[in-house]
Chain A
Amino acid sequence: MKPTLSVPDSITIHEQDTQELIKKLIDENLSLKKRNQELELLNNMAKTVVEDLDIKKIMQSVIDAGTQLSGAGTGAFFYNTDVSGSSYILYTISGESIEASSFILPDSLINAGDKVNQQVIRSNNITIDEVNFKNIKGRSLEGIGFKSYMVAPVISKTGKVLGRLFFTHKDSGKFTEKEEYLVSLLSAHAAVALEVSKLVESKESNLEHFRSMAESIPQMVWTGREDGYIDFFNLQWLEYTGLSFEDLKGMGWTKVLHPDDIEKTIKQWTAAVNSGEKFELEYRLKKANEINYRWHLGRALPIKNKSGQIIKWFGTCTDIDDQKKLQEKKDEFFGIASHELKTPITSIKAYVQLLERLLTDNSTAKDYLGRANTYIDRLNSLIADLLDVSKIQAGRLPFHISEFEFDHLVKDAVECVQPTLQKHRIIIEGEAGQIVRGDRQRLEQVFVNYLSNAIKYSPQSDKVLIRVSKNNKEVKVAVEDFGIGIPKENQEKIFDRFYRVEADCKKFSGLGIGLYISSEIVKRHKGKTWVDSTEGKGSIFYFSIPIKKDLKTAI
């Protein structure tokens, strides 16, 4: 059988098709290659944007990519340096070199309204569009040698024009919708890059600002991460301890703590980190090349972000060694002074009582001696109060905690005060029926203070009421008198140290520290003190002590 002729025919046809196909393929391959190149350019640019934080470098790569992608002869970036958007400076330039001074944004663009401002402006032949594209020197851009022209705004997330990408070509018809699209993609990248680097820059300058501040103050300064890891110590820290940052970082700083302070300091720091509450503690730190430790006041505050999360701890250590030693001396002095004052009082009191015994009942002399004895007691309690105030200020009023029946305390306090009274009767109403935990002697002191105030400021009255009550949280005491009362404006200050209601100062003696001591004692029991008073009618002084859950009611 003869071979068919249709085969070569069809081959011819196929050859034609194939050639066209190949041409088409080559074309497509070329445009694919071009696309790939474009993509690669975009990618490279995006990489620079992400990896680099130098604005100049980023914008250069944006402009380089833009110039290549759009086929522009020259590309440039104008940075908006002014909020009003009317001041642009040439920042980076790419492509054919052009005299920089002639490379200026046209007035029409700068002064155009928002609508024009936020769009890509494109002209394929500026000789036609001359009105819109004049430069500020009055020369047309064509005069400089441009025909194609394209300006794309770089707009921030908040809609602010950060700058403009500028592309030109000497030939007309260079920029089409495709170039416009590519450039608008670029400008979006550029906007992100600019904003990120600005943010980083401001953060870095903040950090630098903080560091230079930290180095310039005499205090020892440190910062910690949110997990409590210490990540910065200023120079003063390193100098004082004679150690390096590597030695101290993390929890390394604990090795300069006095052995007796390590446990409580770590415990308190951990608690602060866990709770997010501020840290404050006094501890001793070892000085470089010395065997002695110096007392420091350590403080740290958490720095939180807008959503309230801790992002950093900011801490300081202040050398309080000298104050601490002075404080100790002052305490010692007060201790000795009060002891020395009490010694003669002890003898006087004993002799007065011996004298009293020698006299027959109902004699005037015996009455006088009885009064003298009362004043001796007052003098003694004033000395004790002064000692207490000095100890409260130093934060070392000693407490001896025990568990006791609250009603017994009330009874004891009344029994202590009642015998010294001339006409007042103390009446107890209600009972707590509760065991409480606290310093019995100190709480009795609060009672005695409330009662003596009630009596002192109610000279016309003859009774004082004590009301005792309790709920499931606390025991509450009210001491009510029917005396002169306290003006409203003075009621808040009444528990302050050395505060005395001025109008009464001349009529009533006292140092103005009794209620201060009472409120401090109650505070240490985690309780509250307050007052309710009407001028001319009387006052009710309250205090409450929380009940610990594990304690039973009294039997």
Chain B
Amino acid sequence: MSKNVMICDDDVDILEVTAIILQQKGYKVSTYTDCNDIFARIETNKPDVILMDLWIPEMGGANVTMLLKSSDKTKEIPVVIFSANNDIEKVAMDAGADGYLKKPFDIKTLENTIESMLVKVSSN
């Protein structure tokens, strides 16, 4: 069964191309331009991995990640911080994210990052 990837990014072009790449890889992809109602969305359509933009409205990707990681229902879902920010590695670590992907990216790196997250979950 194909895995679910949730992508949150306020830029629709990036959402679109990232979705194309991951769909070609056989993932089921759901895209969002904000993080409103993220808990409700997760409830109805639970993702296996979340790709989270840092500058997402309203509260920003780092804060959303911290919220996800503090809830028992969502803390097991791997979160990858997705940003053009130079300090992304530190920001991702501080927020408690499981990984990071710097923009612009190599599509191979995107694929590998998502895959490694899923491997991590299944080995747990």
Contact = CB atoms under 8 A, between A and B. Distances in A.
Interface string A408-448: 00000000000000000000000000000000010000000
A353 B110 CA distance: 12
A350 B89 contact: no
Interface stretch (A201-209, A237-245, A338-346): A338-346
B14 A354 contact: no
Contacts of B84: 338-339, 342-343, 346
Nearest to B90: A400
Contact of B18 (A350, A384, A441): A350
Among B13, B18, B84, B106, which residue has the most Cβ atoms of chain A within 10 A?
Answer: B84
Given A339-B55, A343-B14, 16 more contacts: A342-B84, A343-B11, A343-B103, A346-B14, A346-B105, A349-B106, A350-B18, A350-B21, A350-B104, A350-B107, A353-B107, A354-B107, A357-B107, A377-B104, A384-B86, A398-B87
A345 B14 CA distance: 10
A342 B85 CA distance: 10
Given A354-B17, A354-B20, A346 B104 contact: yes
B82 to A, nearest CB: 10
Nearest to A343: B11
Interface in B54-72: 55
A472 to B, nearest CB: 32
9 contacts: A343-B103, A346-B104, A353-B106, A354-B20, A354-B107, A377-B104, A380-B104, A398-B87, A441-B89
B21 to A, nearest CB: 6
Contacts of A400: 87, 89-90
Interface string A369-400: 00000001100100010011000000000101
A210 interface: no
A362 interface: no
A342 B89 contact: no
Contacts of B103: 342-343, 345-346
Contacts of B13: 343-344, 347
Nearest to A339: B84
A380 B20 CA distance: 23
B87 A347 contact: no
Chain A's interface size range is 20 to 34
Contacts of A333: none
Q: Is the interface of A mostly helix, strand, loop or mixed?
A: helix
Interface in B102-120: 103-107
B115 to A, nearest CB: 17
A208 B90 CA distance: 56
Closest 6 CB pairs of A and B: A342-B84, A346-B104, A349-B104, A350-B17, A346-B103, A347-B13
A376 B105 CA distance: 11
A530 interface: no
Contacts of A344: 13
Interface in B5-39: 11, 13-14, 17-18, 20-21, 24
A368 interface: no
Contacts of A181: none
B114 to A, nearest CB: 14
B11 A349 contact: no
A351 interface: yes
B14 A351 contact: no
A353 B106 CA distance: 8
A298 to B, nearest CB: 29
B72 to A, nearest CB: 31
A398 to B, nearest CB: 6
A347 B17 contact: yes
Nearest to B85: A339
B23 to A, nearest CB: 11
Contacts of B87: 398, 400
A383 to B, nearest CB: 9
